[in-house]
């Protein structure tokens, strides 16, 4: 699915496996956050907030998120 054609500007993959970034790039991913090593020593949540901050939203805007690992903490973080 090419969500970029639907108006998405930032498409972020959050994963443990760097190899999945190659596949996600083919599906229009624009940013990759490695769970075990987020940029700048940030938490995964902080890294996504930084990627999605705008002048209108200092806390970032994530309109849609998909969790396919079933981890309760990750599900909680995506809603916060």
Q: Cα 42 to the chain's mean position, in Å? A: 13
Say how far apart CA 63 and CA 61 lie, in whole Å. 6
pLDDT tens-digit profile of 43-71?
777 887 887 887 887 777 777 776 666 67
pLDDT for res 75: 67
Q: What is the pLDDT of residue 80?
A: 62
Name the 3-class secondary structure at 13: strand
pLDDT one-digit tens code per residue, 2-44: 566 667 777 788 887 888 888 888 877 888 877 777 677 787 7
Count Cβ neighbours within 10 Å for each residue of 13-44 and write b for 16 or more, e otherwise: bbeeeeeeeeebeeeebebbbbeeebeeeeeb
Structure confidence at residue 25 (pLDDT): 82
pLDDT at 33: 79
Measured CA to CA, the distance from residue 80 to residue 74 in angstroms comes to: 10
What residues form DSSP beta bridges with 13? 32
């Amino acid at each position: 699915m090419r969500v970029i054609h639907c108006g998405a500007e930032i498409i972020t993959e959050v994963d443990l496996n760097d190899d999945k970034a190659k596949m996600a790039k083919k599906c229009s991913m624009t940013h990759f956050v490695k769970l075990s090593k987020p940029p700048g020593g940030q938490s995964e949540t902080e890294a996504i907030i930084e990627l999605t901050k705008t002048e209108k939203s200092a806390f970032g805007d994530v309109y849609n998120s998909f969790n396919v690992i079933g981890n309760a903490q990750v599900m909680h973080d995506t809603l916060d």
